[in-house]
Amino acid sequence: MNSVSTATLPLSSGGVIPQVGLGVWQSGRGATTRTAVLTALRAGYRHIDTARIYGNEADVGAAVQESEVPREEIFVATKLWNDDQGFDEAQRAFDASLRRLGLDYVDLYLIHWPVAGKRLDSWRALERIKASGRARAIGVSNFLVPHLEELLAAANEPPAVDQIEMHPFLQQRETRAFCAKTAIVVEAYSPLTHGRKIDDPVIAAVAARAGRSPAQVLLRWGVQKGVVVLPKSTNEGRIIENADVFGFTLDGAAMSALDALDEGLATGWDPRTQA
C-alpha cells in the first residue's frame, strides 16, 4: 500500500514527484515554518512547496538540512515571483532563492504566475537553469489552457508540472484534460479550499460515511484524480492527519457526490483574468 512517503507520480522530464507535499504559504517565517517542515518530514512527507514570495525559503532550507532525512529523498519546490520575471532577472532570482534555501539544487522551479509579455522570456531562463542541473525539473503555476498552448508552441522543453488551484469546488476539468494529453503533472494548490469549504455539508456527509475527516476527503479526492496535493498546515495534528490519505478509498458514490460540487470557486487569485 502507498503512503505519504512512497506515493509518487512520474514527471515527463524524468524522475518522480511525491503526490502529497506540505505547502508553506502563510506559514510565517522563522520557527513556525521550520517546525512545520520538520514535523512533516517526521510524519513521512517528502515534498515541500515554498516560493520566494512566501518569505520562508531560508526556513524551509534550514529544516531540510536539520532533518535526518537525506537531501536526495526530499523534493523541494520553489517559485519565481512576478517582479523577477524576464530572462536575466529570472536567473538572478533563481540564484537568490537557492542561496536562501542553502541548497545546491531544487527539485522543481516554477513560474508562479503567467505574467503577460514576460512569461516566455522567463521560461527560457528556466530551461537554462534546468540545463545547469540546479533545478531537476521546471514547470509553471496558474497557467490555463491558452497560457500552456502558447508556452508549448515556443518552448524547447515542456513544463513538467502545472500548479493550479484545485478542489471539488474548482475542478479545473479543461486544464486537467489538456495536461493529461500533454503529459504535464497537475499540482492542486489550496486543496483544502484555503479552509473556506471545510465545513461544507456534502463533504461532512462523505467524511462521516468514510469514517475520515473533511480534510482527508478533500485530499483523497485529489489523490484519486491523479494529481499532486499541497495541503498547508502549521499544526502538528493536522499535518499528520493530512498525510493519512492512503489507507482508504472513496467509492464511486462518494466521488460522484464530490464531482457534483464544482462551482468555479477560486479562493485566491484567478488566472482566468490573465491574458
Site for ligand NAP in 79-98 (CB under 6 A): none
By CB under 6 A, is residue 266 in contact with ligand NAP? no
Active-site residue (options: 54, 105, 109, 189): 54
CA-angle at 190, arms to 188 and 193, nearest 5°: 120
Distance in Å from the first CA to the final CA of the chain: 43
By CB under 6 A, is residue 141 in contact with ligand NAP? yes
By CB under 6 A, is residue 241 in contact with ligand NAP? yes
Stretch that binds ligand NAP, among 12-20, 99-107, 189-197, 249-257 (CB under 6 A): 189-197
By CB under 6 A, is residue 175 in contact with ligand NAP? no
User: Phi then psi for 41, rounded to 5 degrees?
Assistant: -65, -40
CA 117 to chain centre: 25
Nearest distance in Å: CB 263, ligand NAP:
16
Stretch that binds ligand NAP, among 4-12, 83-91, 128-136, 192-200 (CB under 6 A): 192-200
Catalytic residue flag (residue 189): no
What sign results for the dihedral spanned by CA atoms 212, 245, 194, 102? positive
Radius of gyration of the chain (CA): 18
Q: Could you identify the residue written with the cell 494548490? A: 189
Nearest distance in Å: CB 23, ligand NAP:
2
User: Are the C-beta atoms of residues 147 and 271 closer than 8 Å to each other?
Assistant: yes
User: Are the C-beta atoms of residues 120 and 154 closer than 8 Å to each other?
Assistant: yes
For residues 25 to 64, the per-residue mask of contacts with ligand NAP, x marking binding by CB under 6 A and - elsewhere, is: xx----------------------x---------------
Pairing of strands 16-18, 8-10: antiparallel
Q: Which is nearer to ligand NAP, 85 or 142 (CB)?
A: 142
Nearest distance in Å: CB 165, ligand NAP:
6
Nearest distance in Å: CB 232, ligand NAP:
3
Which is nearest to 127 in space by CA: 156, 85, 107?
Answer: 156
Sequence-separated (6 or more) residues with CB below 8 Å from residue 253: none
Q: Which is nearer to ligand NAP, 19 or 141 (CB)?
A: 141
Written as nine digits, the cell of 165 is 488551484
For residues 200 to 229, the per-residue mask of contacts with ligand NAP, x marking binding by CB under 6 A and - elsewhere, is: -------------x-x--------------
What sign results for the dihedral spanned by CA atoms 255, 261, 265, 271? positive
User: Are the C-beta atoms of residues 188 and 165 closer than 8 Å to each other?
Assistant: yes
Total residues binding ligand NAP (CB under 6 A): 29
Nearest distance in Å: CB 20, ligand NAP:
11
Residues designated catalytic: 54
Give the footprint of ligand NAP on this chain (CB under 6 A).
23-26, 49, 112, 141-142, 163, 189-195, 198, 213, 215, 230-235, 238, 241-242, 268
